[in-house]
Structure 1
Amino acid sequence: MKNFKANYLKVGAALAASALSFGLMACAGNSNVESGSVPPAVAEIRGGNSAPANMPRYVAPKAVTVFEMKIVSGDKQIRVVDKPTLAALDFAAYFNNPIRLAGKEEKPENYQGVMAGAKLADYPFPMLDSLSSYEPNAVTGVEPIAWEPFAKLLYSQTGSDSLSVLLNGVEAVKWNEPEVFRAFQSVTRLWGVPSSNANAGSNAIDWWVEVLPALWTGRNVFYGKLKLTSIGEVAEILNYYLTGEMNSDDALNWARTLSSYWYPTLNTDLEPHTAGAPWENGRPFAVMRGNPMGSPMWIGFEAPAFRMTDEVIRAKQVADSLMAHGEVIPVDRHLDTSSTFRLETLNAIKGTCPANEATAAFRKSLAEQMAKLPKEQNAWAEVDVNGNKVEGGFLWFRRNANYLLADKISGQDSLHNPLPRMIELKNYLDSLGIQLLVVPVPVKEEIYGEKLVPGTAADLCVNLEGRAFTQELLEAGIDVLDIYPALMAAKAGDEPPHYSFQRYDTHWALPGELAAMELLAGRVTQYSWYAESGAQPGSLNLQETQTLREGDLVAHLPDAEKSKYPADNLNVMKVYKGTETYKGGKNSPILLMGDSFTGVFESVDQKSGGPGSLLAYATGLDVQVLTSWGGGPGVRSRMMKMKKDMQSKRLVIYMMTARDLWQSPMEWDALR
């Protein structure tokens, strides 16, 4: 209890009163539906139908514990949910999470405290009624939820962003100090309760919020009722969110997806861990590592239903050992030592990205554009030549833009210079008789330079140092697949609002992915060993589908702008082997490893539609995928632990965003 209070006060002192009601735990609701069951209204929404006309009155589930927090150390926690509902897991992830709160405790330099003396009755929240310093009786015994993930779910099911707009509005209030970028307050808990408005209908819901002011404002936590009553299928969706339990695979996918969305600025990744096995003083099903400010932190997520006993763990270890010894079939391999492809690529890239007046003007304009941003703002919106925001335009990422302004990449210090590490990796794989093919993925900002800096020619090469480093890799004897020309050509086929890259995200969309995969598949089939590899083109089949994805850049906009950028409906080509979704195994002759570019559409967002599956479809060779969501440099250490799996490999494809070549927050340390 003492440890919890100390940690709680450290990251949110104004919640002391709330902490007393929590004790060691967070208050929440009961779960009493069968695993995997879906309420009728939710099923109908998913089927595209409207909600039933006559719905029972919404009744909030009874309250039990949402999660128990175990403090392992100053940088490690385990959060235990009693029932693995989506609501409980989301709340455990979002509430008072030190990874998300890192760096937000200090007072902003430009904060003046203009309204520091305002009384509660004068607080500037026109979207709230019934402001109070105390938790309202209306939410007693009702499970609180994390508003951000629930609002996303609600939008995906109903197409309505009314709740999200209002809650973003609460967090966007600047107290007459609009120049301060950091949020003055956050909505820490949201409650949905049966509406007090008798005319709203039997299934209507009122929304209450707990608002936690930032520590540096000196204000105390307060509560209010949103000026919004939700009707229709919202009650069924909320009930399903609160009560529908996940199985272990669903829970692990939840953790994987969450890590992928947070990683651009929180540098999150899932640690290699057997679900339910011991970690520190618990048995979590997933362990997330975050490093937003240069100091790593870990949070384990645990559910009793997913814990494994020591006996089961021993049995699994035996089974894994037998599998490791008996499943991987070593191949008789030999390196393709031809330098023809590398030299052709080198000759093709030389002189294609010269420094000139146009590139100097681009760099100057981009630097000026970034200098106007608050230093804490990591994303911003596309503007036209007059400086007006483009409706439905792109969002840009600060780290990507910094990469375009890079100095000599190989001139960085030893912990950030990727060149020696690429050479080291090649030498190691050469010693095993395994090819290495490096695939740096250009950032969206260099493909769409004309949108990033209005007035730039659409065909101008704006990334001088990035292109120069690709040339250095080739000159060092490393095979590099240069997909920049293919992506530049692909954007000619853009049909707004569909582009080669996602508008609100750091990753490519289907047209860009397909352009890169066509080039990659062509390169794989050129290796001298391909003919004897047992490739079976045509053994897999392809199916077009769609997925709804909220861009990973939206969360890094000013609070007042977030609601303007809803989730995008994206096309995905999903790969099947027979009737089952495709997944390459340990005997795959190809290992595709890297950062989130290897995981988006592959292990999240529809799955089996990412680069690994598409490459397998195109070449007829199985592809095993190894993803480090926290950044490309870190995946090498994971590969080093796959010694058994490597016996079946002929080719390692190292694919990652090119921005990690410059000032990567994850260091380029030596192989070990």
Structure 2
Amino acid sequence: MKTPTWVVLFAALALHARADAPAFIEQLAVKAAHAEASDVSVVRGEDGWLFFAPELRSMGVGRFWSDAAADVSRAPKPEYADPLPAILDFHAQLDGAGIELIFVPVPAKAVIYPDAIADGVDVDDGEIPRLDAYHQEFYAVLRERGVRVLDLAPVYLEHRRAANTDLYCRQDTHWSGQGLRIAADEIARVIRDGGWVNDTRTHEYDAGALDTRITGDLWTQLGDAGLEKESLRLLRVGPTAAAPQTWTNNEWRESPVLLLGDSHCLVFHEGGDMHARGAGLPDHLAARLGFPTDVVGVRGSGATPSRLALFRRRDSLKGKRVVVWCLSVREFTEGQGWREVPVIR
């Protein structure tokens, strides 16, 4: 079913008249609905940007927690639709064990590059409006309940104003090397400022440039073989001196810091369909901390499956002082749901 031209035109005119969050969200909802009706998962934007239709849908549904959750979530069971209870439960478990939780939702690509997907967003003056009103509201709710939320959107928008380096892959659902390095900077800053791991032995790290051409997941899903694949410059990092034998591929099972989440914890780190090794979030976080993190990253959903993977370890997070939970914002509505998982026993 094709979306009527007048609907798209009306949304564009509305956004041009007032480049605010409701109009922007309405446009994304229209584009996501059109993609779903056309049975496609990729929406083309401006200047070669590709967008994941489920992420646009997640942005377009509005409020997604508490009473609104069951109406907008893709979770197979309504009792798992609301992300709020599961996040609060996980935080309470960790807090009871003396472990700090840093919740790091990765902003939607459309929030940082709204002008590439929506009409009427004027960024010519260098000012990029922040348009994810519902995410900001949700993070405020979490903070009121005691959850430490690291919101990357402000620093990403500021970087986009000041620099000309893409923060996301244009043909992939993940962040770029620059985007993840900024995330590593911010996560490491929070950990250092907290003073939770200052007694951990550290090593120096060095970095080398890695130029690569990727087969992005959005490029693959688009199915346009004539579209040239995306080239990226990454930074591969590793310890300069002989590292302890328990440090393998910039991971350390006994680390006081656990990096938990979806494939944002694996891209450019694990190789294969994650495109490269040694240049991902775990690698750059290790370089900034001076020691590797433990990593529990899963392909697909970082909401419940990542915590189930943690549950299966059956170690109650022994020795951990900090858990960094990093996942895409689309997980709030598009994943398998949000179950409460007893990771501390």
TM-score when scaled to structure 2? 0.81
C-alpha distance in 1 between matches for 2:129 and 2:220: 30
Matched, 1:452 2:135: no
The equivalent of 2:73 in structure 1 is none
CA offset at residue 445 of structure 1?
1.1
CA offset at residue 645 of structure 1?
7.7
CA offset at residue 436 of structure 1?
0.9
1:617 is matched with which residue: 265, 287, 294?
287
Matched, 1:376 2:56: no
Which structure: larger Rg?
Answer: 1
> Would the alpha carbon gap of residues 478 and 510 (structure 1) be closer, same or farther in structure 2, given more than 3 Å must change?
same
The equivalent of 2:332 in structure 1 is 661
Q: In 2, are the aligned partners of 1:592 and 1:626 still within 8 Å (CA)?
A: yes
Determine helix, strand or coil for the equivalent of 2:155.
helix
> Would the alpha carbon gap of residues 490 and 656 (structure 1) be closer, same or farther in structure 2, given more than 3 Å must change?
same
Unaligned runs of at least 5 residues, structure 1? 1-109, 111-178, 180-355, 384-389
List per-residue Cα deviations over 1:619-660 (Å, max 9, x = no partner): 113211111102111100111222438212111100000110
> Aligned pair count?
303
CA offset at residue 671 of structure 1?
0.5
Matched, 1:598 2:253: no
Determine helix, strand or coil for the equivalent of 1:457.
coil
List per-residue Cα deviations over 1:390-425 (Å, max 9, x = no partner): 4xx101111111121122221313312111001111
Determine helix, strand or coil for the equivalent of 2:306.
helix
The structure with higher relative contact order (CA 8 Å, sep 6+) is: 2
The equivalent of 1:486 in structure 2 is 155
The equivalent of 1:563 in structure 2 is 225
1:341-352 superposed matches below 5 A: none
> Would the alpha carbon gap of residues 364 and 410 (structure 1) be closer, same or farther in structure 2, given more than 3 Å must change?
closer
C-alpha distance in 2 between matches for 1:469 and 1:523: 20
Matched, 1:649 2:330: no
C-alpha distance in 1 between matches for 2:162 and 2:19: 28
1:428 is matched with which residue: 63, 69, 93?
93
Return 594-603 or 541-550, whichever deviates more: 541-550
C-alpha distance in 2 between matches for 1:509 and 1:534: 29
C-alpha distance in 1 between matches for 2:208 and 2:190: 24
The equivalent of 1:519 in structure 2 is 186
Matched, 1:395 2:50: yes
1:177-576 superposed matches below 5 A: 358-373=20-35, 374-383=37-46, 390=47, 393-411=48-66, 412-413=69-70, 414-458=79-123, 459-495=128-164, 499-531=166-198, 533-536=199-202, 538-557=203-222, 559=223, 562-576=224-238
> Would the alpha carbon gap of residues 423 and 545 (structure 1) be closer, same or farther in structure 2, given more than 3 Å must change?
same
Unaligned runs of at least 5 residues, structure 2? 3-17, 71-78, 243-247
List per-residue Cα deviations over 1:534-567 (Å, max 9, x = no partner): 242x52222221222111112322x4xx123332
> What amino acid maps onto 2:65 in structure 1?
S
> Would the alpha carbon gap of residues 549 and 579 (structure 1) be closer, same or farther in structure 2, given more than 3 Å must change?
farther
List per-residue Cα deviations over 1:31-55 (Å, max 9, x = no partner): xxxxxxxxxxxxxxxxxxxxxxxxx
The equivalent of 1:636 in structure 2 is 307
C-alpha distance in 2 between matches for 1:577 and 1:622: 10
List per-residue Cα deviations over 1:60-95 (Å, max 9, x = no partner): xxxxxxxxxxxxxxxxxxxxxxxxxxxxxxxxxxxx
C-alpha distance in 1 between matches for 2:22 and 2:300: 32
> What amino acid maps onto 2:52 in structure 1?
F
C-alpha distance in 2 between matches for 1:624 and 1:443: 26
C-alpha distance in 2 between matches for 1:583 and 1:591: 12
Q: In 2, are the aligned partners of 1:486 and 1:516 still within 8 Å (CA)?
A: no
Q: In 1, are the aligned partners of 2:197 and 2:321 still within 8 Å (CA)?
A: no
Q: In 2, are the aligned partners of 1:396 and 1:553 still within 8 Å (CA)?
A: yes
> Would the alpha carbon gap of residues 639 and 425 (structure 1) be closer, same or farther in structure 2, given more than 3 Å must change?
same
> Would the alpha carbon gap of residues 515 and 589 (structure 1) be closer, same or farther in structure 2, given more than 3 Å must change?
same
> Would the alpha carbon gap of residues 564 and 491 (structure 1) be closer, same or farther in structure 2, given more than 3 Å must change?
farther
C-alpha distance in 2 between matches for 1:583 and 1:455: 44
Determine helix, strand or coil for the equivalent of 2:61.
coil
C-alpha distance in 2 between matches for 1:658 and 1:575: 27
TM-score when scaled to structure 1? 0.43
C-alpha distance in 1 between matches for 2:212 and 2:239: 20
List per-residue Cα deviations over 1:360-413 (Å, max 9, x = no partner): 332333333344444311102114xxxxxx4xx101111111121122221313
RMSD, aligned α-carbons: 2.2
C-alpha distance in 2 between matches for 1:372 and 1:440: 26
